[in-house]
Structure 1
Amino acid sequence: MENGEISYAGKYSAPDYERIVSANCGLAIENTMIYHTPEVKEQLEKFGIPVLVERSSYESDPLARMEWVKLYGILFDKEAEAETFFNEQVQRIRPLLGQDTTGKTAAFFSVTSNNLVTVRKSNDYVAKMIGMAGGEYVFSNLSDNGNNLATINLSLEEFYAGAKDADVLIYNSTIEGKIETTEQLLSKCPMLADFKAVQNGNVWCTTQSLFQESMELPDLILDMNRVLAAESSNAVNEDELKFLTHVS
């Protein structure tokens, strides 16, 4: 943006129509947030600008999310490059798919400011990545509960019952911020001191850019595998990790 290669044209809910039209924009690519302001989509179309709503976030399989790169290959006449890039990413994790499971269980969560715990549903792509990495997601029976959200909020008691004995805890920093120490984690939720993973020092935190880098999902799967396959957190070479950091 500073180099003038791209221009800021307002928020999805309040675009700068004048700038968009004057730039002869030929296509507007929106995520599903646009459905909250349908009048914006209608206005863009009135100006003769077709609107494509990108729905990769609805994919429940990590590879399916990545495969959306092929759509952009079609849009920008880079089909061969997109196909090659996708295949290269898939090949990076293919060796994991034929391996035995690690026998380890994992929870992926964050603690909200109102004392609830946000976890992924059992059919969510993050839960599936844990499985691809050789682990077992502890909340394997969370129902869809009638909405399209990928997450669900549990009470502290429900989370305790499901994750107390998990071998690995992965804290999702993208919602409530990153944590670096066990003290920071326990300040959010003191009862976590009873958890097996906390006592064994096997707690990890995601980077905050995690959900903005969908084409890098193989790196997260490989990170998860390194953590799950290790005998202890001390056996993990943190220099090899891209999306996970150890909570000391």
Structure 2
Amino acid sequence: MKEFTIRPFLSVLIIYLLLAGCTSNTSEKTEQKSTGSKKDYYSEKLEIKHAKGFRIKYFNNYKIVEILNPFEKNTDTTRYLLLQRRTVRPTGFTGHQVIEIPIRSLATTSSMHVGLLDFLESIEVLKGIGGTQYIYSPKVIQLIKEGKIPEVGKDQGLNEEKLVSMHPDLIMAMGSPGAGMSKYQTLADAGIPVLINSEWVETTPLARAEWVKLLAALLNKEELANRKFSVIENEYQRLATLVKQAKTKPSVISGLNTKDTWFLPSGDSYMARFFKDAGADYHWAETKATGSLALGFETVYPIALKADYWLNVGFNSSDSKKDILAQDSRYDDFNAYKSGHMYSYNNRVNDKGANDFFESGNVNPQRVLADLIKIFHPELLPEHQLFYYKNLK
């Protein structure tokens, strides 16, 4: 008797749920049609495989970009609506900054952004930069000399008056810890969108390099970014696989003692990943933190004494072993100092001190990895010539 009375009820319930689902789907499709374009402007889309700090979603005439945790200690997500020029803006998205794409003019706060633009063959959109003395690119330096790219700030400080008068399509800023979007309120009030590029929070070299795809989305250069990044990705992975043939795993120390504090790459940092992929043994590889470790000299000393290699010890192109020793006489005790196995990423530094490692190096991790393999395991890459790194004499 109970079975007989329940079956009709279940049939009605199932029909109701099916109808409700159809209504929901129809409503959703209708909303998409009413808030977007029927024409799909983006035949090629970006796939983010390594970077964890941003997401991109595609619609017919706009893209939604989310920058996750842009200021490291601030867990807020910043959201952007990238709207195709001369198309109708979709309804909603009231909490999103709107950026019309492709962008035609860009002001940046970091030389690293110059490397991104150069990678995407788009230097022509660069119309302002903070800290022109840090630029390595000869092409950009020439444009600065010609007055075509003015300085718009120094050391993360922006000349808001100049930027408002220039009114670029976009300002690309770095998400420094402890900052927030309120820092850019004056620019926002002037109708100038500010996008936070926080590639430095990534923990692997390929993830950092993949932030070039964010700029590609702003320029509608998805095809170029996908094609060029795929080459870099494949070469990086080839080199990392090659290292497995190495018969030894030399130990490495990094950085210098500065005012009784030694800053070293933490275990989850991109530099520690470089060491791992290059086949080196890094003492602090298991520390669960990103960024740098701040340790006392006495903590580092016993490890540094025995390390086979000492990396990232000079910044100027003229730095030598003698210059490093002049900073602290105890360095003379280090095994790597005695053997001459001291290297730094200062092979490409111009007369103003600008270092290409921090410009093009960010989007060429395969070159950095090749340098490190050449240092740790020269037999694996006998023909490779150091590009970013050099041996300190």
Q: Is the shorter-chain TM-score for this pair beyond 0.5, marking a shared fold?
A: yes
Letter in 1 for 2:275: I
Aligned residues of 1:13 and 1:34 also touching (Cα < 8 A): no
The SS at the match of 2:310 is: strand
How much does 1:38 deviate? 5.1
CA shift for structure 1 position 220 = 1.5
Q: Which residue number in structure 2 is paired with residue 119 of structure 1?
A: 264
Map of 1:212 onto structure 2: 359
Matched, 1:229 2:374: no
Q: Secondary structure at the match of 1:85?
A: helix
What's the CA shift for 1:180?
A: 3.5
Return the match for 2:332 from 172, 193, 199.
Answer: 193
Structure 2 unmatched ranges of 5 or more: 1-143, 350-354
1:68 lines up with 2:208 in the alignment:
no
CA shift in 2, pair 1:172/1:38, >3 Å: farther
User: Which of these residues, 277, 285, 289, is aligned with residue 140 of structure 1?
Assistant: 285
- Aligned amino acid, residue 217 of structure 1: P
Name 1:167's counterpart in structure 2.
308
Distance 1:229 1:31, change over 3 A: same
1:58-110 CA distance string (max 9 Å, x none) = 11111000001111111011111111221122222222222314411211212
SS at structure 1 position matched to 2:325: helix
What residue is the counterpart of 2:163 in the other structure? Answer: 20
Residue pair 1:93, 1:221 contacting (<8 A) in 2 also: yes
- AA aligned to 1:109 is G
Query: Contact (CA 8 Å) 1:29, 1:52: kept in 2 or not?
Result: yes
Higher relative contact order (CA 8 A, sep 6+): 1
Q: Which residue of 1 aligns with 2:125?
A: none
Share of identical aligned residues, percent?
Answer: 22
Structure 2 counterpart of 1:221, one-letter code: L
Asked if structure 2 preserves the Cα contact closer than 8 Å seen for 1:179 and 1:205, the reply is no
Q: Tell me the TM-score normalized by structure 2.
A: 0.55
Match of 2:322 in 1: 183
Q: State the Cα distance separating 1:143 from its structure 2 match.
A: 4.6
Kept after mapping to 1: 8 A contact 2:257/2:297: no
Deviation at 1:42, TM superposition (A): 1.1
What is the Cα-based RMSD across aligned positions, in Å? 2.6
Report if aligned partners of 1:34, 1:40 keep a CA contact under 8 Å in 2: no
Q: Where do residues 86-101 of structure 1 align in structure 2 (5 Å cutoff)? A: 86-99=229-242, 100=244, 101=246
- Equivalent of 2:293 in 131, 152, 159: 152
By how many angstroms is 1:162 displaced? 2.1
AA aligned opposite 1:42: Q
How far is 1:172 from its partner? 3.7
Q: Measure how far apart 1:223 and its partner are.
A: 0.6
2:247 is equivalent to residue 108 of structure 1:
no
**Alpha-carbon deviation of 1:17?**
3.1
User: Which amino acid is 2:343 matched to?
Assistant: W
| Greater Rg by CA | 2
Secondary structure (helix, strand or coil) at the match of 2:366 reads helix
Q: Indicate if the aligned counterparts of 1:31 and 1:54 stay in contact, CA closer than 8 A.
A: yes
* C-alpha distance in structure 2 between counterparts of 1:62 and 1:171, whole Å: 16
Q: Are 1:129 and 2:270 counterparts?
A: no
Tell me the distance in 2 between the aligned counterparts of 1:36 and 1:203: 36
Distance in 1 between the 2:160 and 2:282 partners?
Answer: 45
Looking at structure 2, the residues matched to 34 and 20 of structure 1 have their Cα atoms a distance apart, in angstroms, of 23
TM-score relative to the length of structure 1: 0.84
Amino acid at match of 1:212: E
TM-superposition CA deviations, 1:93-130 (whole Å, max 9, x none): 22222231441121121231x13322111111001001
CA shift, 1:153, in A, is 2.2
Give the CA deviation at 1:202.
Answer: 1.0
Equivalent residue letter for 2:163 = I
Structure 2 distance, partners of 1:79, 1:35, is 32
* Helix, strand or coil at the partner of 2:233: helix
Instruction: Give the AA of the match of 2:328.
Output: C
The verdict on how the C-alpha distance between 1:169 and 1:236 changes in structure 2, with shifts beyond 3 A counting, is farther
Tell me the SS of whatever aligns to 1:9: strand
Select between 184-193 and 75-84 the one with higher mean Cα deviation. Answer: 184-193
Distance in 2 (alpha carbons) for counterparts of 1:117 and 1:202:
19
